[in-house]
Amino acid sequence: MMLRWDNSTNPADAMKLTSRLVFALFTGLLTIVNPAGAQDALDPAADPEAGTVALIPGFLPDPLRVPIVGGGEVDVNSRGLGQSCVGFISIAPDFRVTAQEGFSLLRFIYISDTITTDTTLVVRSPDGKYTCGNNTFGTFNPMVDAVNGSVGNYAVWVGGFSPNTPVYGDLYITTNSGIVPGSTGVVVPMATALPTITPLLTPTPTAVSGLTLDAALPPSHGRASLAAGFLPDPYWTAVVGGGFIPVPALNEQTVIGSSSLPECGGYTDTAPDFRLEWGGRSTRLRFHFVPVAVDGIEPDASLIVQSPDGQWNCNRDFAPGFARPSVEFINPAAGMYHIWVADEDNPGTSVAGVIYVAEIASTPDTVRQAATLPVTDLFGLDVGEVTGMVDLVLSPDPHVIGGLTGGGGLNIAATNPDLNQPNPAFACQGFYSTTPTAVLNLPQPLSYLRVFFVGDDSAANPTLIVRMPDGQWYCGDDSFSTQNPTLNIIGNPSSGIVRVWAGSYSPDEFIRGTLYFTRRDAAPSSAGVVGVATPTLTIADALTPVALPTAVILPPLVSVQNSAGLDSAAEPVSGTVSLGAAITPHMLEASGGGVIDAAPLGEACTGFVPAPPDYRVQWTGTGTFLRFYFVAFGDTTLVVSSPDGTWRCNDDSYASVNPTVDMTNATAGTYNVWIGTFSRGMSVRGTLYITEDQARNPGN
């Protein structure tokens, strides 16, 4: 585009015009009036595939999330809409927003499910202007702003860079200028698929031990066996990565020169840091690494995973602007996964942190963090010299100190107002004595240590503070569905004095109880822990996953007869998942809709579904209740066939247009799931939930 002004143009106005152009080029946004005839290929008045919403200022939730499948046959660049208008879109808009009142800012952001997918946005405002967005804020995600937007219809198209190729993701609509592409936990969706470089390369069989990565060596920080549907999800383990060996090119396992794979790099050790034995069938398996911050700064780390077929998979940053690494496998093969953690920059530097293994949709920033956050400074507690300490010995594990009394008159939150307590991130609250409740000597550094305090009285509400030898403070409150506090201390680099303060949530209340130190999965809810009358394993918080069988005998798969023409024995559209437990809902992304009318199946069966099932669930659980429900931005239906050959259907449920199907006598076997829409051939994208929890439903 060329800017022109003559001698009569005010210099200040010219400068403003230049500044606006620079801003438009920087953000990837450019608004122009649509030239005559340019809109002929587009039909902004057509019915949008993903629907319509009417909004007024102050709408909730903000941002509003709308799953959209974009792309199409129309080359935007050839329509003369402007230099920043690129990609391929459909003739009809993907979505329409009707502004019932004026907005000072109405922002549209599209986040692709696959972070490496480049997408575009086209928005037509009520005055007929087209605004386009491409790459913004260092990501492939587009953004379009309607500033001082008028009342009326905003037609929205989502584009991809290949004709007639769908792109999957979510449109976010917000009035908050602080929300941009890449906002952590806000517009980075839980359904994000992570970028993983997966070269078709195998290691040379002549690798020299000590100079290359050797998957045959015992892992430095242990191993685990997991099956599809494991709980709790994510599984986590503490490791200390890094080393002196440059991560090799991995195609020939040479350490000379730089890596030929851009996502492989850094310094690590010969032996893997962790090994996972994976069993069962699943749609996704994700490995995240979250390093422990040193002096408030997280070191740059990379993650290297060798899959069972010998391929190498590496990642440095899970997305542009995010430094934590993650590796994802689609339809992961059963077998051994060998994991290394590398320091990206410095040889011989240790990188402590947590490896997470997850099936649920997550990123290193959205995964539930296991490590207790350290506090650098905490005032009011006495850390003077001590004598007569006992050693903290974890043989047997746990190390137990009973008969302690915690509590006092020091309000730790009031004494440390800069922490803005109570702060759930630090949990530094409660009332303490200034002198420690217990003091121990830690003979050697430990990469992982769990500390918890259990009151003798189950009605007591204790709190906990620990100061480790490196000077870092850790605070804890309620945990494991109890009022007892737990700390997961990860990455402590020092031996020396460990000081522990047991406190009370109420002032001058003194709580008698038992202090535990462990490197295993003991917890306030564990069997054998003093003070817990009815020990249970809390799914949401337990360290070690529930053991699931790696081999399950299921009835043979047969075609269930039906009058609608559905093929229950066909290969599912979106895949098969094996589940042994689903108290925490198992979530699967899916697109519903098809051309077969489900009505012949029964009175409650409606909508159009595909002939093959959308998902197949191999259920090995022992419960008697199983719920399937689908949540989407649109009216959908659900059809489920059970192992005994019966069919169950549903349309609207729980005061919503989302369907729910309950199996009140759920036996082990194969459940096939079809997701329907009310227009033949229409596709609606959303999330399928599978759960044993009767309290979970589309309404909450």
Q: Per the structure block, which two tokens stand in for 590?
A: 């899916």
Residues 68 and 148 in one domain: yes
CA distance 367 to 281: 22
What's the CATH code of the domain at 321? 2.60.120
Q: Which domain holds residue 261?
A: 223-358
Q: For residue 399, tell me if it sits in a domain.
A: yes
Q: Does 1 reside within a domain?
A: no
Residue 194 placed within a domain = no
Q: What φ, ψ does residue 77 adopt, rounded to 5°?
A: -60, -30
Same domain, 498 and 597: no
How many domains, the chain?
Answer: 4
Q: How far apart are CA 485 and CA 596, in angstroms?
A: 54
Do 163 and 295 sit in the same domain of this protein? no
Query: So what's the pLDDT on residue 402?
Result: 92
Q: What six digits make up the tokens of 621? A: 């659980």
Cβ-contact 123, 130 below 8 angstroms: yes
Q: Does an H or E element contain 642, and which?
A: none
CATH code assigned at 431: 2.60.120.380
In this structure, is the dihedral angle defined by the CA atoms of residues 651, 59, 685 and 125, taken in order, positive or negative? positive
pLDDT of residue 431: 95
476 phi, psi to nearest 5 deg: -145, 155
- Measure the CA–CA gap between 433 and 447, rounded to whole angstroms: 29
pLDDT on residue 396: 83
The structure's pTM equals 0.51
335 and 400 both lie in a single domain: no
Q: What is the mean pLDDT of each run of 10 residues along the chain (700 residues)?
A: 33 38 37 40 86 84 82 86 84 92 92 78 93 82 90 94 85 84 45 31 35 84 82 84 80 37 78 89 83 84 91 83 84 90 89 89 80 88 83 87 93 84 67 94 88 92 94 89 89 89 92 91 72 34 30 35 76 77 75 88 87 86 86 89 88 89 88 91 84 85
Distance between CA atoms of 224 and 424, rounded to whole angstroms? 30
Q: Is residue 615 part of a domain?
A: yes
Same domain, 51 and 164: yes
* Residue 11: partners with Cβ closer than 8 Å, 6 or more residues away: none
Which candidate, 217, 302, 227, 209, places its Cα nearest to that of 263? 302
- Within this chain, do residues 55 and 128 fall inside the same structural domain, yes or no? yes
How far is it, in rounded angstroms, from Cα 650 to Cα 587? 19
pLDDT value at position 624? 82
Please indicate, yes or no, whether residues 514 and 631 belong to a single structural domain of this protein.
Answer: no
Which 8-state DSSP code applies to residue 27?
H
**Do 169 and 237 belong to one domain?**
no
Alpha carbon distances (Å) from 448 to 108, 130, 389, 495, 540: 43, 55, 21, 13, 20
Q: If we measure between CA atoms, which residue out of 493, 436, 495 comes closest to residue 464?
A: 436
* Identity of the residue numbered 591: S
In one-letter notation, the amino acid at residue 533 is A
Closest CA to 66 of 525, 685, 499: 685
Verify that 354 and 395 share a domain, yes or no. Answer: no
**Residue 379 contacts residue 416 (beta carbons within 8 Å):** yes
Separation between Cα atoms, residue 133 and residue 111, nearest integer Å: 12
User: Does the residue 201 lie in any domain?
Assistant: no
Report the distance separating Cα 329 and Cα 194, nearest Å: 9
Tokens standing for residue 300 = 């740059």
Distances (CA, A) of 646 to 371, 436, 643, 673: 46, 63, 8, 12
Closest-CA residue to 570 (of 662, 464, 674): 674
- CA 607, CA 188: separation in Å to the nearest integer? 31
pLDDT of residue 432: 96
